Structure 1
Amino acid sequence: PARPEGLGAAVAGVVPRGRALGVAAAVVVAAAAAGAPLGAADAVRSGASVVLALSAAELLLRHCVRRFGGVTGDVFGGLAETAATCALVVLALG
């Protein structure tokens, strides 16, 4: 957390890394399965949208931790918006 009294302090480091990776993998599989009825290309695009969204959010998180020395509630909000926008752009381009 960037500040001990902020939302980042209550949320940062709460979820174990292994569990987070497991949930991320499950979401990628679920997205690919949701796109599968539309064809193989849509299944790949749906899974890729989640992977790219997670990657963009991770890059932003690392930048914010380096820049601010931790995370805040605003950083978490920015991560959610960045991931959602990235996924929507990937899906819209397909």
Structure 2
Amino acid sequence: MVVILSISQNINCISDSAFAPTEEEGLFPNPIACGTDVHKVPYCYESVKHFNLKDVTKECCIVLVGIPEDCFAILFPMRFTYRMALTATCKLLGITKL
């Protein structure tokens, strides 16, 4: 659908930019932007990705809980499983704002 839409815009020279993604609010999340905050905390992403939850820190919890759901889905393929494990780990660390 996205390919058809982009071809349609290029062929018809549609000047309406309602479907064109903007920098801040695009149609699809930017995977590079999704990973930048997560990779600021050392070993945060790797610890959660490999279920080494004993290595997850409070700072890691705050960063991962704060990312948007679409970015979370890009970073973690089984987002519901990872979200439940992360939520339980963060609660054990004393972070209640989830």
TM score, norm. by length of structure 2 = 0.27
Larger RCO (CA within 8 A; separation ≥ 6):
1
Greater radius of gyration (CA): 2
- Select the structure that is richer in helix: 1
